[in-house]
Structure 1
Amino acid sequence: MDPSDPRHKAIPLPYCNAFCLDPPNPQNSRSSFGYPAATFQVVNRDDGHLYCLRRFDNIKSVNPKIASTVLEQWASIEHPGIATLHQCFVSQRAVFFVHQYIPGTRSFLQVANPPTLSEPVIWSAICQMVTVIRRVHGARLALRTLDLRHTLIQMDALRLRIFVNCLGIVDALEYESRKSLQELQAEDMRNFGRWILSIVTGTNITISTDPQTLQNCERYCMQNYSRELRHFILTLSRSQNPPSILDVSRALSGRLMDELDSTQLSLMRTEKALSGEYESGRALRLLLKLGFVNERPENGANRRWSQSGDCYVLTLFRDYVFHQADGAGNPVMDLGHVVTALNKLDAADEEKIVLSSRDGKSLMVVSYADVARCLDSTYHELCSGSTPPQALQRRQQQGQPY
């Protein structure tokens, strides 16, 4: 937002760098919970992390004690399919809810042209939601926000990921509700059936949806999907006494195993990609060490750091890796040679290489292990005589030169 935007005053400390997540020029300033609200992406100054902050104004039924109670109930609920509630508090005559911010996600209703989902993708989404409900119900709580407005999705070429958002808000806003936990959890299961029908048809179906729309959506499901899926939806959404989440888990045990296999494959792909980044980090560490020790001007008089000292091998190795030329004197830009040499240096390979001075009058036969030992000893010697970063920071604060 623009620094002069008056909405910055609506953001309490320690949050800053607000970015409004509400759609521009909304027709109705009331949120899906029935109260005036505003949603922001913010940064917490204490930890530097991104969060999603919601401000509800004119809420007289929520006091600091209720906010603290709701936070205590939900803060410990962690699950890969839940946007965790981090804070709930009353300030500036408003109620604030701070949830985990999940980059790259959108509400299902924010997708401009919702794709027609294949049945395996729908069953994957069902299995993900079953694990979320099982976690919440196992903690003796109820979701109470299970519809497309509060469902975040991440879609890519491989799979659809589901996240439940806004948990704990209804608990605070309707704290005085007299419904029992059993009633709330049963309503969760009915809403689960409506939620499945919603993602199948792309229409947000709630308890207030008119019968004609509901009938059209059920007809669409019957025409395009299997009888098993349609029966599963109707069993949940139309039953006065829907099955518990444990019963649903047992009925979906086979599909849950398929989802576990899919998750393990996704994890393997992620670990493979991460290992590549880790290897890049090892090469960067070697490059930083070489940059620190090569040709330091303040050590020119020191024989160990001079062109005839022990560190001469590091200068020659630097030229061997980066400054090669062909017979005509043209530079050789071989990235494969650079990566191979750095990997062998990192592994302290015993392979022998020939290092040459720039004038070609001096030759040296060493192994990568010899170069690695020289680099480590020289770098450690340099570190032992260096100025700690804390001392540099103090000098900078005092206006003294380095």
Structure 2
Amino acid sequence: MAASRYNSNDLRRQVGSPRSKGRDTKDTLCRNVVIYGHCRYMDTTCNFNHDQNKPVSGPSDFLSKKSFNADSPSFTPSGQNLGQAKKTTLSSQAANAAPFTPRGVTASTQQNADLTMFNPAGAREFTPSGNTQNYELGNSNMGNGAAQDNGVFSDPFAMNSMAPALANNAPFNPYAGDPSAVSGAGAGFYSSGGAYASVPMQQPNYHLYQPYDAYRGELQPWQRSTYDYFIPAAMREEIQKKMFATQHTMPGLPKLENYHSLFSLDTSHRKNTACFGYHSWVYKAQKVTTGLHYVLRRLEGYRLSNDQSVMSVMRDWKNVRHENIVSFHETFTSQNFGDSSLIFVYDWHPLAKTLAEQHFSSPLGNNRQRYPAVPEGILWSYVCQIASALYYLHNKNLAARCLDLSKILVTEKSRIRLGSCAILDVVQYDHNRPIQELQGEDLVKFGKVILCLATGMPPNLLQSSNTKAALDSLVKYSRSLRDALQFLLSPVAPNGQPHTIAHFLTMIAPQLVQQANNTLRENDEQQYWLAREIENGRIARNVMKLSVILERGDLGSQSNWSEVGDRFQLKLFRDYVFHRVDASGKPDLGLGHMLSCMSKLDAGVDEQIMLTSRDNETVFVITYRELRGMFERAFNELMKFSKSPGL
């Protein structure tokens, strides 16, 4: 050892480090043996070890020969005596000392800690368990190892605390206003969802082309985005919601003779007899013969005593077609609901709301409060549309009779339609009231509807108040609107002549002109977006035709038809349009390039493009006009072998 070279009495006087000896090369394996398997100088000048089976000295043997090791004398400051310095050195018996045990940890914990060390001999082979319950969430007995006990380690993925909550999930109802309340009082109106009741129904994706944020204003005029090629996102979302609402169904409702897939449209389960004198319910249904969707209004407990009333109403109302009236189709009786019901069939307008739901809806259901007044521009739109519908009906010697906030529908932004027409003509057929009297009531009801919207008061509050006082409170509206309401609420003119809808239209003629201008402006906007979608439709048609040509295989007596002749160049054109990559080899998904190329193919322009095969051995320089001819010839050849009419 290095320390044995010096006398123990001279340790304090030792200043420099002891001189190390040279390294012995006899125990070092020769590199020639490691690399080449033998050494040509083994018997001559090479002093290294050439026996691979001989154990090589490890790092511990090498370090033991160094001058600095555990037995070297420790540094002792001059202010301490030799006895204290000797006490700080480690003795050889320190290796046999007992291991350190923290206070408070039992022996079983130490034993478990030793078991956590990996022991290859004690590891068991993986064997799948035949009992599937070992793999359920929250099961502490795992099939391939011992369960953790003593509570020392906690499993972060254990779901024992969440199991009761998952087991008590109520069936999801996508049509309930508050899904959390479905399991309560409203659960009785919806049937069980079966084995998949706990899985929420996936709502449709209304943002197929919707960008993540608004239109980026920093885009240059020559730059385009996906948003620019399609109709506005709000318009597309509204149309898709209407299409989705058309497919709604509700199990548990009966199937009628000519209608099926009924779906309840009532937003309240409270029965009301104020309008018709009978409890009424509204359903959406699909007709068996045509597959079209209609609205069925059912009068509960009505017994038809006079067949002539139904025949007369159908003769008068079946041909009524107006843009502001929900079209009536037929009426019939049914026993499928468990009682005698009279059902009226109307056109289906998805996602339509009544004026009461649009302007007098309260989350607390309080009908005794006042609501914000409707702006004058919207009021004039309602006035002009209702007046147009009444003028059409009165000229046909008919009356609407159901002018109520709960029966007038809002189908678009400000588009309204008179609903539930012809019902009172059947229910009150025996009253034999003059048509002039019924038309006069239409004007009064018309004025009350507009007055409720202008004052923000529901009909139950307006009836209990003074109508003249309500008119006097409309000081923020124009004089022309107040005069129009005064005309409608006064059924008789000062000269004793009854008011008619024709006189009313003469009074509001300036507003009718303004509404006509607004309608034409909206029509121009719709035509603009429709023109864009027509171009996209043509592109989709060409993509379908190109898809039926390529990758077809044999056709008739010609084998591998789609890979030879003109079809091969069409295949290269398909790769040019849809399979482009950038300089780094990543897919190029630029929508503008795809739409531009398909539009040029449809037009057959003279622009030249270069088509390259995937192995870069075949190159074509061709125009879109030539590709258009190949495209048409290939598709016409397919049609000769097809019995279908084609695209």
TM-score w.r.t. structure 1 length? 0.87
* Alignment of 1:232 onto 2:488: no
Shift of 1:300: 10
Q: Is the 8 A contact 1:31 1:37 kept in 2?
A: no
* Alignment of 1:290 onto 2:546: yes
SS where residue 298 of structure 1 aligns?
Answer: coil
Shift of 1:148: 0.8
Highest Rg: 1 or 2? 2
CA 1:352/1:12 → structure 2, altered by over 3 Å: closer, same or farther?
Answer: same
* 1:71-220 matches, cutoff 5 A: 71-92=314-335, 93-111=340-358, 112=361, 116-154=373-411, 156=413, 160-205=414-459, 210-212=463-465, 214-215=467-468, 217-220=470-473
**Whole-angstrom distance in 1 between the partners of 2:303 and 2:269:** 27
| AA partner of residue 418 (structure 2) | V
SS where residue 431 of structure 2 aligns?
Answer: coil
* 1:238-277 matches, cutoff 5 A: 238-241=490-493, 242-277=498-533
* Alignment of 1:8 onto 2:261: no
**Whole-angstrom distance in 1 between the partners of 2:445 and 2:455:** 15
Moved more, 165-174 or 269-278: 269-278
What residue is the counterpart of 2:181 in the other structure?
none
What residue is the counterpart of 1:20 in the other structure?
264
| AA partner of residue 311 (structure 1) | R
Shift of 1:181: 1.0
Q: Is the 8 A contact 1:134 1:245 kept in 2?
A: yes
Q: What do the CA deviations read for 1:341-366 (whole angstroms, capped 9, x no partner)? A: 01111111111111111122221121
**Whole-angstrom distance in 1 between the partners of 2:624 and 2:540:** 17
What residue is the counterpart of 2:299 in the other structure?
56
Q: Is the 8 A contact 1:304 1:311 kept in 2?
A: no
Shift of 1:3: 8.9
Query: Looking at both structures, which has the greater relative contact order when contacts are Cα pairs under 8 Å and sequence separation is at least 6?
Result: 1
Moved more, 190-199 or 342-351: 190-199
What residue is the counterpart of 2:167 in the other structure?
none
Moved more, 164-173 or 347-356: 347-356
CA 1:335/1:7 → structure 2, altered by over 3 Å: closer, same or farther?
Answer: closer
CA 1:209/1:254 → structure 2, altered by over 3 Å: closer, same or farther?
Answer: closer
CA 1:149/1:331 → structure 2, altered by over 3 Å: closer, same or farther?
Answer: closer
| AA partner of residue 214 (structure 1) | T
**Whole-angstrom distance in 1 between the partners of 2:486 and 2:599:** 59
SS where residue 296 of structure 1 aligns?
Answer: coil
**Whole-angstrom distance in 2 between the partners of 1:86 and 1:74:** 8
Shift of 1:247: 1.1
**Whole-angstrom distance in 2 between the partners of 1:300 and 1:13:** 49
What residue is the counterpart of 2:273 in the other structure?
30
CA 1:3/1:42 → structure 2, altered by over 3 Å: closer, same or farther?
Answer: farther
Give 1 or 2: higher helix fraction: 1
Shift of 1:202: 3.5
Shift of 1:330: 3.0
| AA partner of residue 36 (structure 1) | H
Gaps of 5+ in 1: 390-402
CA 1:379/1:329 → structure 2, altered by over 3 Å: closer, same or farther?
Answer: same
Q: Is the 8 A contact 1:64 1:89 kept in 2?
A: no
Q: Is the 8 A contact 1:154 1:162 kept in 2?
A: yes
Shift of 1:301: 7.8
* Alignment of 1:353 onto 2:609: yes
**Whole-angstrom distance in 2 between the partners of 1:288 and 1:115:** 52
Shift of 1:234: 1.5
What residue is the counterpart of 1:45 in the other structure?
288
**Whole-angstrom distance in 2 between the partners of 1:287 and 1:98:** 41
Shift of 1:228: 2.1
CA 1:297/1:50 → structure 2, altered by over 3 Å: closer, same or farther?
Answer: same
Q: Is the 8 A contact 2:447 2:489 kept in 1?
A: yes
**Whole-angstrom distance in 1 between the partners of 2:539 and 2:569:** 19
Shift of 1:76: 0.6
- Give the one of 571, 578, 599 matched to 1:343: 599
| AA partner of residue 8 (structure 1) | L
**Whole-angstrom distance in 2 between the partners of 1:312 and 1:107:** 59
CA 1:185/1:30 → structure 2, altered by over 3 Å: closer, same or farther?
Answer: closer
Q: What do the CA deviations read for 1:19-39 (whole angstroms, capped 9, x no partner)? A: 11223431x353631112222
TM-score w.r.t. structure 2 length? 0.56
Shift of 1:201: 2.4
**Whole-angstrom distance in 2 between the partners of 1:174 and 1:195:** 22
**Whole-angstrom distance in 2 between the partners of 1:25 and 1:336:** 51
State the number of aligned residues: 382
Shift of 1:227: 2.4
**Whole-angstrom distance in 1 between the partners of 2:567 and 2:317:** 59
What residue is the counterpart of 1:399 in the other structure?
none
SS where residue 282 of structure 2 aligns?
Answer: strand
**Whole-angstrom distance in 2 between the partners of 1:164 and 1:322:** 50
**Whole-angstrom distance in 2 between the partners of 1:386 and 1:300:** 11
| AA partner of residue 434 (structure 2) | S
Q: What do the CA deviations read for 1:191-216 (whole angstroms, capped 9, x no partner)? A: 2211211221233448x953525355
**Whole-angstrom distance in 2 between the partners of 1:306 and 1:186:** 74
| AA partner of residue 299 (structure 2) | F
CA 1:220/1:42 → structure 2, altered by over 3 Å: closer, same or farther?
Answer: farther
Shift of 1:283: 0.8
**Whole-angstrom distance in 2 between the partners of 1:225 and 1:136:** 29
Give 1 or 2: higher strand fraction: 1
Q: What do the CA deviations read for 1:99-144 (whole angstroms, capped 9, x no partner)? A: 1121121111123256532112211111111110011111110110
**Whole-angstrom distance in 2 between the partners of 1:60 and 1:307:** 72
Shift of 1:219: 3.9
**Whole-angstrom distance in 1 between the partners of 2:476 and 2:256:** 49
**Whole-angstrom distance in 2 between the partners of 1:185 and 1:295:** 68
**Whole-angstrom distance in 1 between the partners of 2:509 and 2:396:** 21
CA 1:21/1:184 → structure 2, altered by over 3 Å: closer, same or farther?
Answer: same
| AA partner of residue 177 (structure 1) | H
Shift of 1:299: 4.1
What residue is the counterpart of 1:68 in the other structure?
311
CA 1:275/1:196 → structure 2, altered by over 3 Å: closer, same or farther?
Answer: same
**Whole-angstrom distance in 2 between the partners of 1:309 and 1:211:** 85
% same residue: 29
Q: What do the CA deviations read for 1:38-85 (whole angstroms, capped 9, x no partner)? A: 221111122222211011133335533321210111111111111111
Moved more, 328-337 or 365-374: 328-337
Gaps of 5+ in 2: 1-189, 194-249, 363-370
